[in-house]
Structure 1
């Protein structure tokens, strides 16, 4: 990904596998969020390919150049480093919005409220409420999103992303700003999602969380992949230590 004379991503090659938690780590400015923005359609990569291989064995979907809502329909969902909720809508309504890409009711259905539209709406409410129960937010369903504590807003973003029925869930610093108890709950939730067969790609600066959760870790620095492997392999990698801590002259 090129921004004028700056190459924010340079030959980055990653493979995310179904049913695994993959972490993408690196110092600030390494290009991690830029990579998320390329994968989810916010940026169009200067070159290279982003492919989604569907579990039914069909031909891979090429995501390059797709609009963000088309990427979501294809099976990718994300959360953001800076929380992006609809603050004046209820907690339940925020999750229901995530179902939009999986519903079929159009303008006429919304106006005339036919039986099919009503049934789809009931199913949307039921699915959204089930996700609130899963994330521990069911008792706050009728609260405005802006009134939730910070950690609960983080979980609400995850619930909304899950409402899209993703094959791949991208989490951008989900533990940022959470207290230790909230981080433990987040750890449990991410593991539950992984156990459902969803691929998870995680950007996180909490190394304790990364090392305890990840099945595989990729490390970036200055837009390039400098290491990959299992947590213990990455922990001992000299290139990773150098990227984070520098080295003596």
Structure 2
């Protein structure tokens, strides 16, 4: 099976600090892949390189769109990377707080819209049809994440867990083939985490590939098909949850001790 994402020798330096150190990863389609490791391991830095927020110092990021060609995305602008099919959420929620829930999702469709300035000014029939399609799709995504009844609520007034789900809905609105989730369960209570697990599983069942950074080890072990373990910008282990959980390097660097996840 051809990888969806191939990372070769990826290096990211900030002055004299090396956040990523010749990192090699391979992400296969239709999997849930977890990145784990202690704080400062380089996980979010990797996401920032993948989505164009940082330009790597060295190495290659190769993204192969389904039924399409492979593109080297190093240094591309974030909007171009989103158009190619990579979307993300953030460790610290980034919503448009003064806009409604459905407006936040509609913004995610911007990279797929075709309306030009002429259509927007003169309200052409094609522009109106596209706007109605965007509203319909956005509402369908809100139904999927359980927020349809909050469509006209300001984003800032949502509970914390609902804001997390709204971020995912906005990312899905870009029609990604690879979805990056940066600590999606952070701050959630057990019920919210359980609902999130179900949502992530359903997204995978639709054929999307998901890469998540997460510190909730029970969640990681129950959801992941494959796990990469990072420490000091390097990959120190990889494998299935069962393979990774018993590796001494993982226990030393991240878990501290061998603990049950049942």
TM-score (norm 1): 0.97
Distance 1:242 1:226 in 2: 11
Residue 137 in structure 1 maps to residue 173 in structure 2: no
Per the TM alignment, residue 245 of structure 1 is displaced from its structure 2 partner at its CA by 5.0
Distance 1:100 1:133 in 2: 20
For residues 15-38 of structure 1, the C-alpha deviation after alignment (integer angstroms, 9 at most, x for no partner) is: 112111000000000000000000
Matches within 5 A, 1:177-196: 177-196=187-206
Per the TM alignment, residue 114 of structure 1 is displaced from its structure 2 partner at its CA by 0.1
In structure 2, the residue matched to 1:213 is 223
Consecutive unaligned residues of structure 1, counting only runs of 5 or more, are: none
Residue 13 in structure 1 maps to residue 16 in structure 2: no
In structure 2, the residue matched to 1:22 is 33
Per the TM alignment, residue 54 of structure 1 is displaced from its structure 2 partner at its CA by 1.6
In structure 2, the residue matched to 1:202 is 212
Matches within 5 A, 1:72-221: 72-221=82-231
Select which of 220, 238, 242 maps to 2:248: 238
Per the TM alignment, residue 246 of structure 1 is displaced from its structure 2 partner at its CA by 5.5
Distance 1:198 1:59 in 2: 18
Select which of 39, 59, 63 maps to 2:69: 59
TM-score (norm 2): 0.92
Per the TM alignment, residue 99 of structure 1 is displaced from its structure 2 partner at its CA by 0.3
Where do 4+ consecutive residues of structure 1 move more than 6 Å? none
Consecutive unaligned residues of structure 2, counting only runs of 5 or more, are: 1-11, 258-262
Distance 2:28 2:173 in 1: 21
Contact 2:65–2:84 under 8 Å retained in 1: no
The structure with the greater share of residues assigned to strand is 2
Per the TM alignment, residue 59 of structure 1 is displaced from its structure 2 partner at its CA by 2.4
SS of 1:218 mapped into structure 2: strand
Change (3 A) 1:47 1:133: same
Distance 2:246 2:255 in 1: 13
Per the TM alignment, residue 11 of structure 1 is displaced from its structure 2 partner at its CA by 1.1
Per the TM alignment, residue 81 of structure 1 is displaced from its structure 2 partner at its CA by 0.2
User: Relative contact order (alpha carbons < 8 A, sep ≥ 6): 1 or 2 greater?
Assistant: 1
Distance 1:137 1:245 in 2: 35
Distance 1:168 1:122 in 2: 26
- CA RMSD across the alignment: 0.9
- The number of equivalent residue pairs is 246
Select which of 26, 49, 55 maps to 1:44: 55
